[in-house]
Amino acid sequence: MTKSPHQRASTDDVRIETKAWIDGAAVPALSGRTFVTLNPATGEPLATIAACDQADVDRAVKAARRAFDDGAWSRCEPGERKEALLRLAALLREHGEELALLESLDSGKTIRDCRNEVANEVPHFFQWYAETIDKSFGRVAPTGPRAVSMIVQEPIGVVGLIVPWNFPLLMAAWKLAPALATGCSVVLKPAEQSSLTALRLGELAAQAGIPTGVLNVVPGLGEEAGQAIGRHGDIDMVSFTGSGEVGAYLLGYAAQTNMKPVGLELGGKSPFLVLEDAELTDDLVESAVMAAFWNGGQNCSANMRQIVHRRHYDAFAERIVERAKALVVGDPLDPATDIGAMITDEHRDRVAGFLRSGVDDGARILHGGTAIDDNPGFFLQPTVFDGLKPGMTIAREEIFGPVLGMMVVDSDEEALRIAVDTEYGLHASVFTRDINQALRFARALPVGTVSVNSFSEGSIATPFGGYRRSGSLTRDNGLEALAQYQQTKTIWIGLGTTA
């Protein structure tokens, strides 16, 4: 365990907002109820936050609808919307260090990752989508001389955004930036464990000149605030990132109410493939370690299933264990830390349960396997399993913790068979020196993103989402993300029979 003086000084350096942001003001929940968010690195309460429920969501939706209908955002000059989102990007950049610190305190994520995600990527997202606004054109359809037909995209209206705790502000930005860019009004519900950075957004949006009511943030519990969004008859679509279980609830809520479309980004059980002709470089080993342990494995596209050709297996295993031993687990505020705290003690215990199940099923722990008990925070060692087999629970279920499982195969064909034997389809990494093999695997894997000779989810410019049970047809990121928040309209203009 590392300890650092940062941890003691930290809360003085951030401003903590605990109220909801509805209709241009910071407000308590109508019921007056609150809930507590913890600092996962200490186990101590960090703040007491407004617990919004249906009544608050209703207020937020009314404000969002009014703002959408008055057109000040939804139908303004494209350049005006662009300038406001660029100002928001600039404000987020200005407050980047403080928001990164707040994120680290609230979620247990390392300050190094928070600086990158919150201070760097989040402002970039708002800037990138802002810049699309005055460069998006409609189309003119082929017609005969008697008609002109325009195909235009229009903002869908009031959207509900529900996000998880593993990348709190980043997941919010993935959805907010394109939704706002299209002209939609939004009601955002952050995860209850990590609402604090999202709660700062309302005020920054107001400072940036985004009209009142366009952006609302309702913290609260999933079954209350989240369900109220899912069931609301005046929300036009919901975009969700989180577990398959809650994704299924949201489909049910929509079916039982106004049949709103639901965009889903769900879990995964992604493979990391080392094919026969791969070269076992430092870069490959580093990619494998990051694929499993980055963000403490609390990552939907974590490559926990590492499927390695027998030719490389022993050397691979040795180098993975050596690298895993060098990972620094501890104080998230220390820039040298590689793995911070797990989000909650329940989640840490759940991951520990998977470790026991792996051992019971016959896999062998080469490193890790234990919680860190000399600290009140929720820490877990990175664990490396040898002898992973396709039927084991740890090879089939999403663990969402710092666990890497290694599986040996005798051919590339066997590797592919095992890789696709899952209900998920979010991501895969393939290492090979043969371009034909790389392309064959990239085409054959039923997943939303394939990384070749790297572990990467792509960039802001590339769409991200899942095949199979990892998601719906919608995509976050790239120009594709805009489509979630838009509807397509045909305008058919008859020119008369004499034209």
Phi, psi of 183 (to 5 degrees): 105, 5
Interaction of residue 106 with Mg ion, rule CB under 5 A = yes
DSSP 453-481: SS-----TTS-B--SGGGB-S--BSTTHH
Interaction of residue 160 with ligand NAP, rule CB under 6 A: no
List 10, 37, 270, 303, residue binding Mg ion (CB under 5 A): 37
Of how many residues is the chain composed? 499
| Tokens describing residue 67 | 């703002």
Closer of 24 and 405 to ligand NAP (Cβ): 405
Q: Which is nearer to Mg ion, 192 or 398 (CB)?
A: 192
**Which among ligand NAP, Mg ion, none contacts residue 37 (Cβ within 5 to 8 A by kind)?**
Mg ion
Q: Which of 103, 114, 300, 398 is catalytic?
A: 300
Choosing from 50, 161, 191, 460, the residue that interacts with ligand NAP (CB under 6 A) is: 191
Considering only residues 38, 64, 217, 266, which one is a binding residue for ligand NAP as defined by CB under 6 A?
266
Smallest separation (angstroms) from ligand NAP to the CB of 77: 33
Other C-beta atoms lying within 10 Å of the C-beta of residue 86 = 17
- Residue span binding ligand NAP (CB under 6 A) among the ranges 88-96, 107-115, 185-193, 309-317: 185-193
Is 216 a binder of ligand NAP (CB under 6 A)? no
Q: Measured from the CB atom, is 38 or 388 closer to Mg ion?
A: 38
Catalytic annotation on 265?
A: yes
Nearer to Mg ion, 294 or 378 (CB): 378
Q: What is the CA radius of gyration of the chain?
A: 24
Closer by beta carbon to Mg ion, 267 or else 332: 332
Structure tokens at 339: 């793995």
Residues β-bridged to residue 471? 265
Report angle CA 209, 127, 426 to the nearest 5 degrees.
Answer: 125
User: Is residue 53 within the footprint of ligand NAP (CB under 6 A)?
Assistant: no
Please report the DSSP string for 358-422 in residue order: HHHTT-EEEE--SB--SSSS--B--EEEES--TTSHHHHS---SSEEEEEEESSHHHHHHHHH-S
Residue 40 three-state SS: coil
Per CB under 5 A, does 486 bind Mg ion? Answer: no
Residue 158 is given by DSSP the state: E
Give the shortest CB-378-to-Mg ion separation in angstroms: 10
Rounded Cα–Cα distance for residues 368 and 359 (Å): 12
Segment 287 to 316, residues that bind ligand NAP, using CB under 6 A: 300
For ligand NAP, give the closer residue by CB, 173 or 266.
266
Give Cβ neighbours of residue 191 (< 8 Å, ≥ 6 apart): 163, 164, 165, 168, 222, 242
Q: Residue 423 carries which DSSP code? A: S
Look up 300 and say whether it is catalytic: yes
Cβ of residue 43: shortest distance to Mg ion, in angstroms?
A: 11
Backbone φ and ψ of 67, nearest 5°: -65, -40
Ranges within 226-265 binding ligand NAP (CB under 6 A) = 226-227, 230, 241-243, 246, 249-250, 265
- Which residues contact Mg ion by CB under 5 A? 37-38, 106, 193
What residues act catalytically? 265, 300
| Sites of contact with ligand NAP (CB under 6 A) | 162-166, 171, 189, 191-192, 221-223, 226-227, 230, 241-243, 246, 249-250, 265-268, 300, 398, 400, 426, 466, 471
